[in-house]
Amino acid sequence: MASQQLTYQDVAEHNTKKDLYVVIHDQIYDCTKFVDEHPGGEEVLLDVGGQDATEAFEDVGHSDEARETLEQLKVGTLKRNPGDPKPKTPLPGAVSPAANNESAGLGVGLYAILLIGGLIGYGAYTYLQQQQAAQSA
Ligand code: HEM
């Protein structure tokens, strides 16, 4: 059972309180029995029923205990067809390189500002030197 592969279209059919699947990180979870027990309430789960709930789940910053519960609800893996929506958030392992890239981008921007500032300063300095040299000549 746990090894079945379903497409987005298959999952989308399970979007009612009596039959509730969600996709989180490309794994499919059957929340039907859990929906009444969810500490965050049934509403939020019903909102993402039959859909990709990765972003909603990660935004809340669920505990390790919540992730263990999740494992028990697993019923299969998502079979992604061409044209299906992409995962909304990168997988946890992929987060830090993206964050690094962002800070690298800022670093390059800062270097560019410093370089341009330096060039302007140097230009003004040489210009003044030339002016002084012209005056004293
Ligand atoms: C099947 C997937 C899910 C499981 C197994 C699950 C499990 C849990 C658990 C165990 C908690 C208690 C706090 C913790 O341990 O982190 C919790 C809290 C919460 N969950 Fe979920 N959750 C799921 C999906 C979602 C989704 C899709 C949302 C959408 C926004 C959500 C929103 C919340 C909120 C807002 C809380 C905080 C409740 C509070 O502290 O008052 N959960 N969840």
State the pLDDT at residue 81.
86
**What's the complex ipTM?**
0.91
Q: Say how many Å lie between the CA of residue 30 and the centre of ligand 1.
A: 14
State the pLDDT at residue 135.
83
End-to-end CA distance of the chain: 93
| CA 19 vs CA 33, 34, 64: distances in Å | 9, 11, 25
pLDDT for 20-45, tens place per residue?
A: 999 999 999 999 999 999 999 999 99
State the pLDDT at residue 111.
82
Instruction: Assess whether the C-beta atom of 56 lies below 6 angstroms from ligand 1.
Output: yes
Residue 39, helix vs strand vs coil: coil
Q: Say how many Å lie between the CA of residue 88 and the centre of ligand 1.
A: 18
Residue 55 pLDDT > 90? yes
- For the question of whether the overall pTM of this predicted structure is more than 0.95, the answer is no
Token pair of 20 as six digits = 């509730």
CB 8 within 8 A of CB 78: yes
Token pair of 22 as six digits = 């969600």
Please state which CATH class domain 4-78 belongs to. Answer: alpha beta
State the pLDDT at residue 104.
58
Ligand 1: residue whose CA is nearest its atom 38: 40
Q: How far is CA 72 from the centre of its chain?
A: 24
pLDDT for 87-136, tens place per residue?
A: 665 555 555 444 555 555 667 777 888 899 999 999 999 999 998 888 87
Ligand 1: residue whose CA is nearest its atom 34: 40
State the pLDDT at residue 15.
97
Token pair of 19 as six digits = 């039959």
State the pLDDT at residue 75.
97
Q: Which residues of 94-120 are buried (b: 16+ CB within 10 A; e: fewer)?
A: eeeeeeeeeeeeeeeeeeeeeeeeeee
Question: Residue ranges per domain, the chain?
Answer: 4-78, 94-137
